[in-house]
């Protein structure tokens, strides 16, 4: 699986989080339902993005609990039941998941079990495990849908 290295400047997102379970199957269903609720909530809060939209889903582990944090770029306000998160300047391994959402764990397994153990980079899990970046190339469960997976790495000098 191909990947690229990118460095992102610090940025700010606003979003909402849900606690996940220890089951990949249940987490996919939880995530799908949460995305639907999140999208309704951003409409209610008048957080529009237009054609060149971007959304994120961060996977965060805190106190041995896994959280899924759906977010979009900060637009200057934090609606009720949303919170703001600062994302630090960071280098990333960037992968693409192409295809149906139900197959994303196959991509994650390949990344974490086959690619990362054999690449010369160390994953930085200090702030979050990874994030998914959604943009105009994402289409629910179409075979040509693209989700970028960004995994923070330590800056090896």
Q: For residue 24, what pLDDT is reported?
A: 81
* CA 92 to the chain's CA centroid: 12
Q: For residue 156, what pLDDT is reported?
A: 66
Q: How far apart are CA 85 and CA 74, in angstroms?
A: 9
Here the tokens at position 64 are 């041995």
Q: For residue 53, what pLDDT is reported?
A: 92
Sheet holding 130-134, edge to edge: 4-8, 90-98, 146-153, 130-134, 55-62, 65-73, 11-19, 83-87
Question: 151: closest CA among 92, 90, 109?
Answer: 92
Question: 94: closest CA among 11, 7, 9, 5?
Answer: 5
Q: What angle do CA 29, 42, 48 make, to 5 degrees?
A: 125
Q: For residue 22, what pLDDT is reported?
A: 83
CATH for 4-153, options being 3.40.50.300, 1.10.10.10, 3.20.80.10, 3.40.50.720: 3.20.80.10
Q: Tell me phi and psi for residue 150, to 5 degrees.
A: -110, 120
Q: For residue 102, what pLDDT is reported?
A: 82
Q: Where are the domains of the chain?
A: 4-153
Residue 84: how many CB atoms within 10 A of its CB?
12
Q: For residue 140, what pLDDT is reported?
A: 79
Q: For residue 39, what pLDDT is reported?
A: 93
| DSSP letters for 4-23 | EEEEE--EEEEEEEEE--S-
Here the tokens at position 113 are 């079990």
pLDDT by residue, tens only, the chain of 157 residues:
899 999 999 999 999 999 998 888 888 889 989 999 999 999 999 987 777 899 999 999 999 899 999 999 999 989 999 999 999 999 999 999 999 888 898 999 999 999 999 999 999 999 999 999 999 999 877 899 999 999 999 976 5
Which pLDDT tens digit goes with each residue over 93-127?
Answer: 999 999 988 889 899 999 999 999 999 999 999 99
Strand, coil or helix: what is 105?
A: helix
């Amino acid at each position: 699986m191909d990947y690229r290295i990118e460095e992102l400047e610090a940025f700010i997102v606003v979003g909402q989080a849900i606690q996940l379970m220890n089951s990949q199957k249940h987490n996919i269903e939880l995530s799908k339902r949460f995305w639907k609720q999140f999208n309704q909530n951003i409409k209610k809060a008048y957080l529009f993005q237009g054609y060149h939209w971007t959304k994120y889903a961060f996977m965060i582990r805190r106190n041995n609990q896994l959280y899924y944090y759906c977010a979009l770029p900060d637009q200057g306000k934090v609606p009720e039941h949303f919170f703001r998160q600062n994302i630090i300047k960071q280098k990333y391994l960037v992968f693409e998941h192409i295809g149906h959402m139900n197959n994303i764990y196959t991509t994650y397994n390949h990344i974490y079990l086959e690619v990362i153990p054999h690449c010369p980079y160390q994953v930085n899990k200090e702030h979050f495990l990874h994030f998914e970046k959604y943009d105009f190339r994402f289409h629910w469960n179409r075979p040509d849908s693209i989700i970028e997976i960004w995994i923070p790495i330590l800056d090896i000098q």
